[in-house]
Structure 1
C-alpha cells in the first residue's frame, strides 16, 4: 500500500508547467518539522491540479494526501532519479472539514490485515 498524509508549510510558491501531453503539473516543496528532529523538505507534484493551487502562497500551512513515487530521467547524459509525493489533494490546514474528508478518503485505501489469534 502506498499512502501519504503530509502536513507542513510551503517553502516557496508553487510552480506550474504544461507538459508536452498538454496536462498541467504544479510542483512545490513542503517543509515538515518533526518533533524529534530537524526540518525536512519534501517535493510534491500535483498533476491536473485546480487553478487555485498556483495561488497558494509560500509559508501556507497545508495537508497533502497522495502517494510516493520515484521517477527516473536522463540529465546531463546520465540517469538520475527523484523521489516525490504525487498529490491527490492539497488543502490549507485551516479548512478542517475538507482536510478531514481527504484524510478519511486516503485512509480508506489502507488495507489492514486481521490480527492473528
Structure 2
C-alpha cells in the first residue's frame, strides 16, 4: 500500500512539474515519419487548397502509427512531396466535424504549419526554435 501511495505522489509531482513547463493552451506537434501514399490536393469551397496525406511514424521497439496530416494552403514546395518521403511535420492537433451519410462525423488529425525534408536539419531547427521558446525547459 505504501508503494502505491509513493507512486501516486510521484505521479502528481511529475504532472505538477509538467504543468509548469508547458503553458496552458499549448498545442504543438512535431512528427518525423514517412509519407505512405502520394499526398492528395483538394480545393475547398472557401477557395483554400488542402493537401492531405498519411504519415507513418515508427519509434524503436513500438508498433508503427499512421497519423493523418492536413496542410491548409501549403507552400509551393509541397508539390514535390511524394510517397516514401522522410519528413518532419510541425503543427497542431485538431478535431474537425463534418456531415457524412446524413450524420455528423469527426476526424482527429495534425494540421501542419510546415512540412520539411527530414534531411533539412538547419531549417527544422529554425522552424522549431520559436515554437519551443515559450516552453520553460530550464
Same fold at TM > 0.5 = yes
Number of aligned residue pairs: give it: 113
Query: What does 1:88-107 correspond to in 2, within 5 Å?
Result: 88-107=113-132
Query: What does 1:5-20 correspond to in 2, within 5 Å?
Result: 5-20=30-45
Structure 2 residue aligned with 1:63: 88
If the length of structure 2 is used for normalisation, what is the TM-score?
0.76
Distance 1:109 1:6 in 2: 19
Distance 2:78 2:103 in 1: 32
If the length of structure 1 is used for normalisation, what is the TM-score?
0.89
Distance 1:95 1:113 in 2: 24
Unaligned 5+ runs, structure 2:
1-25
Unaligned 5+ runs, structure 1:
none
Q: Deviations over 1:55-114 (max 9, x none)?
A: 21110000000100011111111111100000110000111110111121321244x399
Larger relative contact order (CA 8 Å, sep ≥ 6):
1
Structure with the bigger percentage of strand = 1
Structure 1's consecutive aligned runs of 4 or more residues displaced over 4 angstroms after TM superposition are none
Structure with the bigger percentage of helix = 2
